[in-house]
Structure 1
Amino acid sequence: MSGLIRKSFDAPEETRPFVGGTGQLQMVNLDGAPVGRATFQPGWRWSEHVKPIAKTDSCQAAHLAYVVSGRIKVVMDDGEEMEFGPGDLAQMAPGHDAWTLGDEPCVLVDWQGYADYAKP
């Protein structure tokens, strides 16, 4: 095993598109640890564009993410809500909906919740 590993989202090992062309998830694996970069286009909403893939009532992935650009709003099943923007670190428990805010794509890098996200 090498002491150094380099991967790039410019050459992802897997790309998963969202319903309706509203974005995509690009995946790389760092020594068995998946890391994903999601691009959510304006108008993207989990309950409309990933729910048909996940087949759950709300997102059941736990996320530990960094917001690179754009804005996203997350609403938990119990009604708690928060907005995240560039430079924010976000921790989200399972059981939420989310959507982009504004007219700029939202880009997130996630170290925890994308292994099975948007995967049929």
Structure 2
Amino acid sequence: MASMIRKSLDDPEETRPVADGMGQVELVNLEAGPVGRATFLPGWKWSDHVKPIAKTDSCQASHTGYTISGRIKVVMDDGEELEFGPGDFGVIPPGHDAWVLGDEPYVFIDWQGMADYAKPKE
């Protein structure tokens, strides 16, 4: 019989900062892969604060998750745009840029795209 698992994003197993102190990703690891809580501060933009870490032209992670607070705008490489806010569930395919809207931090729980997100390339 499988055992229950309890982990807390308030006591993460790994924390990855983004450039200029504009946020961080806190991770807990499960057999199916990491689950992360991303917190991005007002003024954060993927192309400014994660692109230097990822070394790709746009975010190549596929995200599946839930917005806790704040607002973010996502623009796909093909020009499709969508905003996410509190209570929104989202699926965001690879190939996008994103930035925080307004003056509230954006907090997102992601259970698909965190394995290599904001992880420095070797």
Shorter-chain TM-score bucket reads over 0.9
Aligned match of 2:79: 79
TM-score for both structures, normalised by structure 2: 0.95
Aligned match of 2:24: 24
Aligned match of 1:58: 58
- Identity among equivalent positions (%) equals 72
Q: Unmatched 5+ residue regions in structure 2?
A: none
Q: Distance in 1 between matches of 2:52 and 2:67?
A: 24
What stretches of structure 1 move > 6 A for 4+ residues in a row? none
* Post-superposition offset of 1:2: 5.4
Count of aligned pairs between the two proteins: 120
TM-score for both structures, normalised by structure 1: 0.97
Q: Deviations over 1:22-73 (max 9, x none)?
A: 0000000123421000000000000000000000000000000100000000
Matched to 2:25, the amino acid is: L
CA RMSD of aligned residues (A): 1.1
Match of 2:86, SS state, is: coil
Q: Unmatched 5+ residue regions in structure 1?
A: none
